[in-house]
Structure 1
Amino acid sequence: MIGLSLLRAGRRGTLAAFALVFLVQAAPPVQIALDQSRRLASGSPVLLATATQDPRDLFRGEYSILGYEVGQPAGLPAAPDLAGARAGCDLAGGDCRLTPGTPVQVTLRPGPDGLHHAASIALAKPAGDGVVLRGTVRFGTLTRRGEGKPGACAHDLCFSGTIAYGIERWYGPQGVPANLDTLDRGRIRVRARVSQDGTAALDAILIDGRDFARTPRL
């Protein structure tokens, strides 16, 4: 009887150890999913113009790469602190390329077309009640008023380049991303939710103003 009790206790200990390992491994993705669900539930809604491409992930299936209008600004008004983000930034010499990976804060404003557009960009989050989207520079340059091609800078300081916001991929059922990519880009919109810290979550893809696909919630 003692031996049987010890065997059962050993099995319980083994099961508890496996359960603990599982919880440790599962905790990060569960936390990510919870954070995503919180953003979708409480974040400020913004409607963004987008264009799609249709690659494939061998492990996760088909997905669309979403290229946003707010992710490719040209001549966007920039705060002076952006020039200080790069050591040796020489605006006088026209050599002011920002380091890829530089974190930025992009203020969005709703337009008469119902979409949110980039209104300004800064290194630090500006004060105010507007929606501010946190992004990362992939490539970017700063120019002064009257400089830059195509189109001259119309502000004291302008940013042109590409910015990533962490909502550039949408995974869908087989064949759906490919079909989405064949649609006229004017028909496709993305509704995102932006949390207080500026982090964006992809809420839904809309076609002709109607929900086409929504991100699952926990």
Structure 2
Amino acid sequence: MIDLAGFRPGPAATIAAFALVFALQVAPAVKVARDQSHRLATGAELLLATATRDPRDLFRGEYSVLSYEVGQPAGLPAAEDLARACGTQAECRLPPDMTVYVTLAAGADGLHHATGIAATPPAGPDPALRGRLRFGTLTRGGSPACGAGPCFSGGIVYGIERWYGPQGAPAELDRLDRARIRVRVRVDPTGEAVLDALLVDGREVARTPRL
């Protein structure tokens, strides 16, 4: 039997152990940063309309909450796979935190607008954002926007609702007319979106750093 009671690791072993612990701790953050940079480099480009308000994070500094037009759809055509969550009810509330996919199409104004919502990734060439329901209602019975099919109204978050900026910048952004603000996002084939840049009057004023 080997007696390890008197064993003391040498300097090289100690350094290697600390390096291993450090690598294990930073690996998740590095992966997140690499994934975000990959989406920024390769994701489909979308331009979204927003409204803002300006809170503060005690640990990360000032930020603006970006409230998207596509995050507050009303009268949006819903796919049958989403409607199945309501069974045969003419109207029902969908469960919060449900994953949804919102299809977007470019409009004549140069912005991307929601054209449909589904519970599974939609087929077709148009990009789709993967989001999470804050709340939502599904109705049947026909409407001008949805025809005879099911219709969705509610609130959706996409993980791109916060923009952190230097001191004073979020507050300055919040004072602007929302019609002047646009957000460029990138979305990967799975629907995951990342905030790429902020534009005011068509001019880029802030950009997410890349690795």
Check 1:180–1:42 CA distance in 2 against 1; reply closer, same or farther (3 A cut).
same
Structure 1 residue 70: Cα displacement: 0.3
Counterpart of 2:173?
180
1:141 equivalent in alignment to 2:132: no
Structure 1 residue 11: Cα displacement: 1.1
Contact 1:78 1:158 in 2 (8 A): yes
Of the candidates 109, 129, 134, which is equivalent to residue 113 of structure 1? Answer: 109
Q: Considering only aligned residues, what root-mean-square deviation do their CA atoms show, in Å?
A: 1.7
* CA distance in 2: counterparts of 1:39 and 1:84, whole angstroms: 32
Using the size of structure 1 for normalisation, the TM-score is 0.90
Counterpart of 2:4?
none
Instruction: Please tell me the residue identity of whatever aligns with 1:212.
Output: V
Of the candidates 188, 194, 216, which is equivalent to residue 209 of structure 2? Answer: 216
The size of the alignment, in residue pairs, is 205
Structure 1 residue 156: Cα displacement: 1.2
* CA distance in 2: counterparts of 1:196 and 1:146, whole angstroms: 32
Counterpart of 2:29?
29
Check 1:71–1:155 CA distance in 2 against 1; reply closer, same or farther (3 A cut).
farther
Instruction: Please tell me the residue identity of whatever aligns with 2:94.
Output: L
Q: How does 1:1-218 map to 2 (within 5 A)?
A: 10-85=10-85, 89-92=87-90, 94=91, 96-146=92-142, 154-218=147-211
Structure 1 residue 155: Cα displacement: 4.5
Instruction: Please tell me the residue identity of whatever aligns with 1:66.
Output: L
Contact 2:78 2:118 in 1 (8 A): yes
Structure 1 residue 91: Cα displacement: 2.2
Describe the SS at the equivalent of 2:120.
coil
Structure 1 residue 159: Cα displacement: 0.5
Structure 1 residue 125: Cα displacement: 1.2
Q: Which runs of 5+ in 1 are unaligned?
A: 1-5
Describe the SS at the equivalent of 2:37.
helix
Contact 1:167 1:201 in 2 (8 A): yes
Instruction: Please tell me the residue identity of whatever aligns with 1:210.
Output: R
Describe the SS at the equivalent of 1:75.
strand
Work out the percentage of aligned pairs sharing the same amino acid. 65
**After TM superposition, which residue ranges in structure 1, 4 or more long, deviate above 3 angstroms?**
151-155
Contact 1:145 1:153 in 2 (8 A): no
* CA distance in 2: counterparts of 1:113 and 1:209, whole angstroms: 12
